[in-house]
Amino acid sequence: MKTIDLEDEPIEAERQSSPEKRGRKASKEVRRQQLIEATIDSLAKRGYSETTMADVADGAKLSRGIVNFHFESKEKLLVATLQYMYDEYSAHWRNAYDKAGVNAGDQLKALVTADFDRAVCNKRKLAAWCAFWGEAKSRPTYQALSGARDTDYQNLLFDLCSRLKAEAGYGFDPHHLALALSALLEGLWLRLMMGLEDVTRETALQAANEFLLTTFPKHYTREANGIRRL
Amino acid sequence: MKTIDLEDEPIEAERQSSPEKRGRKASKEVRRQQLIEATIDSLAKRGYSETTMADVADGAKLSRGIVNFHFESKEKLLVATLQYMYDEYSAHWRNAYDKAGVNAGDQLKALVTADFDRAVCNKRKLAAWCAFWGEAKSRPTYQALSGARDTDYQNLLFDLCSRLKAEAGYGFDPHHLALALSALLEGLWLRLMMGLEDVTRETALQAANEFLLTTFPKHYTREANGIRRL
DNA sequence: CCATATTGAATGAATGTTCAGCAAATTATA
DNA sequence: TATAATTTGCTGAACATTCATTCAATATGG
């Protein structure tokens, strides 16, 4: 009855098998990317505190000193990795938003759906995000980048809540609701990452949709497979 | 217009200034507790990866070897600390629940309010929780204890959602809604911990109440200061 | 004194960083 | 085209540091 939880790609998948110069001598950018991917792997597999330069180098099948050559220190590698994930996530939701048309209901639904897309929401990435969250409080450098749902995202949610409220005369406070919504999404990510219970990408999305349904009853309706805008 | 955000107690507050034997030779239990508090301090101040035995010992104003004497290893100290926070949180919500009477609406409101009580929801504790979350995925030992909102809590939320639904004929799926609610609470904690934006305990609680209001419109009503059961 | 708690220096393992040297790619020269 | 010179990417051993753990010596309270 439950779709055999789509265990996302194995953590160590050969990701960039593109024929880009592999053996020796790849371009600076290719190597940096390769090392960043290896870092995400390591964060996901061993956690922040046990991610070592050696493990990253091994994961990239390169020598020990390589990271200090392309990045300069472990700290800078980690910041670059976080920046990469941040940029990727931003591009992802902006893209979903742009494709959603002009209707606020559609736009909000698109944002929520995008959040549980395999591209950004898989064990590997979620584990890496959480590793950074755990260190963010005590590291100013991480703090700004750790909240994937940043100011832009938050403002957009607020704008959408306000528009839906104006359209249907809901009684809620759009500020509080936007905060609740982004917290809900992040909380669901956390649950997914923990991997306890039987929470899967599907159930998480259903829970988020349940929120949309009960909060904006005049905008959405229950469908066989998710929700639909009225 | 905004209450000067109640910056919770300073991280290094002299917590147990009780005249319990302080100088030399305290009982086993007193020392353990003292070291656990120092561990929470360190986790909050420096994060998991930079929490060292030396820092814990210094924080407790004791010598370097002390932790290995009372706990046995760093690992066991950390597990004991997590267990302590877990027990404390559990006792806190159970207590709030027991005091809430027999009405499901009151009980749910009590649980949500308890979640933002200073006793369990302050920068120090939230930071410590988050430190563990960041390591939980890669450490089976932490995994079970890291989800403060455990199976019992989740089941209770489900039960309450179901009862409210039965009382007022709401259309939601109680499973999904209970998941959404617990994720919302955890997500708000995460936001509070990050300390970005202007999210305070008050705004977080308001956002959670906004959720209750819109989801259970027949049970709660907006009040000057929060919500009230109808 | 005896049992127990505590100290703090010593130890050894783990790990980030450095760097001299090597090799592949690229360019210059004949 | 062949060869030399140079740049650039990469290696891995050596080094320095940090840190958990051990333990012999010491202090304390009963």
Cα(B192)–Cα(B11) distance, integer angstroms: 15
Dihedral of the CA atoms B131, B134, B138, B141 (nearest 10)?
40
Cα(B229)–Cα(B221) distance, integer angstroms: 6
Of A222, A22, A207, A218, nearest to A112 by C-alpha is A207
Q: Which of A217-226, B90-99, B149-158, B198-207 has the lowest mean pLDDT?
A: A217-226
Q: What CATH topology corresponds to A83-229?
A: Tetracycline Repressor; domain 2 (1.10.357)
Cα(A171)–Cα(B210) distance, integer angstroms: 10
How close does chain B come to A19, measured CA to CA in Å?
33
Architecture of the domain whose range is A15-72: Orthogonal Bundle (1.10)
Dihedral of the CA atoms B91, B92, B93, B94 (nearest 10)?
40
Say whether residue A187 is in contact with chain B using an 8 A CB cutoff: yes
Higher pLDDT, B106 or B147: B106
Q: Is A172–B213 a contact, with Cβ atoms under 8 angstroms apart?
A: yes
Cα(B160)–Cα(B138) distance, integer angstroms: 33
Nucleic strand C near CB of residue A144 (< 7 Å)? no
Domains A15-72 and A83-229 share a fold: no
| pLDDT tens digits along A48-76 | 999 999 999 999 999 999 999 999 999 99
Q: Is B210–A143 a contact, with Cβ atoms under 8 angstroms apart?
A: no
Q: Which of residues 146-185 of B touch strand C (CB under 7 A)?
A: none
Q: What is the CA radius of gyration of chain B?
A: 20
Q: Are B207 and B189 in contact (CB under 8 A)?
A: no
Taking CA atoms, what residue in B is nearest to A41? Answer: B138
Of A147, A187, A135, nearest to B44 by C-alpha is A135
CA/C1' separation B14–C2 (Å): 34
Say whether residue B225 is in contact with chain A using an 8 A CB cutoff: no
Question: Residue ranges per domain, chain B?
Answer: 14-72, 84-229
Give residue for tokens 């050969």: A14
Say whether residue A226 is in contact with chain B using an 8 A CB cutoff: no
DSSP bridge partners of B226: B223
Residue type (1 letter), A95? N
Pick from B134, B143, B180: CB nearest A208: B180
What Cα–Cα distance (Å) separates residue A184 from each residue in A109, A221, A223, B28, B191?
14, 20, 22, 42, 11
Interface of A with B in 104-163 (CB under 8 A): 127, 130-139, 143-144, 146-147, 151, 154
Buried b (16+ CB within 10 A) or exposed e, A127-156: bbbbbbbbbbbbbeebbebbbbbbeebbeb
User: Which CATH superfamily, name and number, covers B84-229?
Assistant: Tetracycline Repressor, domain 2 (1.10.357.10)
- Whether the predicted pLDDT of A20 surpasses 50: no
| ipTM confidence | 0.89
Q: Which CATH number, 3.90.950.10, 1.10.10.60, 3.40.1390.20, 1.10.340.30, labels domain B14-72?
A: 1.10.10.60
| pLDDT tens digits along B48-105 | 999 999 999 999 999 999 999 999 999 999 999 999 999 999 999 999 999 999 999 9
Cα(A92)–Cα(A122) distance, integer angstroms: 14
